[in-house]
């Protein structure tokens, strides 16, 4: 088989597979399979059902694995003409890992790993739900900002925990007797849990403790949390813009071979017009009759 024939077969395979993958029936079928797989996982949490229907549940699991394998093969075949494009989509890479690892002997022999892999299939439902996909992409984009938020929050907790240990350790050792206890107490106060009791206990020690709790709640519960909300909202906007850009149809362009043929035809037409002009100039003029 020549290279040109193999390339033609790859293009035909990719075109037919792409029509199947992009069809609404295929998307609906895969989404229903993922939902049914999630329901099967929930059913298997009941011991009585597992003992009674063990063989049927095992057969259903094999059928789901076969169906998901056929799906990923179809998605790969849709990129047969450009295999590199398949791995540029993170969802394709995730689907491929979830499906292929299930065939690894270690994963099949380890019940815990196998359950986690089957649970990961449920996350594939985000591929078919645009809003959920936007949220997941936004969470990934917000990780750098979230790490900065965690560093600032840890610094705030450390400083206030040390101050609380200095001033309240002797009078309230249960909550401020060590750095760890002080951090735990302040972390709970950051969620406004038990703030009233903490303020009353602090006022019994010193009336100036109100400044300590007020400043911590202001910085920890309002400023930092609002900063985190801002980071998440910004990431959601970026994810929405990215999703909109991916959904925008790309104008069809002729392949390079067709472009070269069109250019060649245009050059041939120009050459013919030039020859016609030359022939017209070479024809002898007819003398007028007397």
List C-alpha distances in Å: 229 to 105, 138, 144, 223, 241: 43, 12, 14, 10, 18
Query: Would you say 153 and 250 are in contact if contact means Cβ atoms under 8 Å apart?
Result: no
pTM for this one?
0.55
DSSP output for 227-242: HHHHHHHHHHHHHHHH
pLDDT of the residue at 18: 86
Q: How confident is the model over 179-233, as pLDDT tens digits?
A: 999 999 998 888 887 888 888 888 888 888 889 999 998 888 888 888 888 877 8
**Percentage of residues of the chain with pLDDT beyond 90:** 6
pLDDT number for residue 170: 86
pLDDT in tens, 132-145: 777 777 777 777 77
Q: CA end-to-end span of the chain, whole Å?
A: 74
CB 114 within 8 A of CB 102: yes
For CA atoms 261, 263, 265, 267, the dihedral sign is negative
């Amino acid at each position: 088989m020549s290279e040109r024939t193999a390339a033609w077969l790859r293009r035909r395979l990719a075109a037919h597979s792409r029509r199947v993958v992009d069809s609404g029936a295929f998307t609906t079928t895969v989404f229903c399979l993922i939902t049914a797989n999630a329901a099967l996982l929930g059913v298997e949490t009941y011991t009585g059902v597992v003992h009674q229907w063990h063989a049927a549940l095992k057969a259903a699991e094999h059928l789901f694995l076969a169906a998901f394998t056929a799906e990923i093969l179809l998605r790969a075949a849709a990129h047969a003409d450009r295999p590199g494009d398949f791995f540029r989509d993170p969802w394709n890479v995730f689907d491929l890992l979830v499906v292929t690892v299930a065939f690894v002997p270690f994963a099949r022999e380890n019940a815990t790993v196998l359950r986690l892999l089957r649970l990961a299939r449920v996350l594939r439902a985000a591929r078919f739900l645009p809003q959920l996909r936007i949220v997941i992409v936004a969470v990934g984009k917000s990780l750098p900002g979230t790490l900065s938020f965690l560093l600032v929050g840890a610094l705030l907790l450390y400083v206030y925990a040390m101050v609380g240990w200095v001033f309240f350790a002797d009078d309230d050792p249960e909550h401020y007797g060590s750095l760890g206890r002080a951090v735990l107490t302040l972390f709970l106060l950051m969620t406004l849990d038990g703030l009233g009791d903490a303020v009353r206990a602090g006022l019994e020690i010193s009336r100036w403790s109100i400044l300590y709790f007020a400043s911590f709640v202001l910085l920890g519960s309002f400023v930092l949390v609002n900063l985190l909300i801002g980071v998440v909202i910004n990431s959601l906007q970026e994810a929405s813009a990215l999703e909109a850009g991916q959904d925008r149809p790309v104008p069809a362009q002729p392949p390079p071979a067709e472009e070269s043929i069109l250019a060649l035809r245009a050059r041939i037409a120009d050459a013919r017009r030039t020859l016609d002009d030359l022939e017209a100039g070479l024809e002898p003029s007819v003398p007028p009759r007397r």
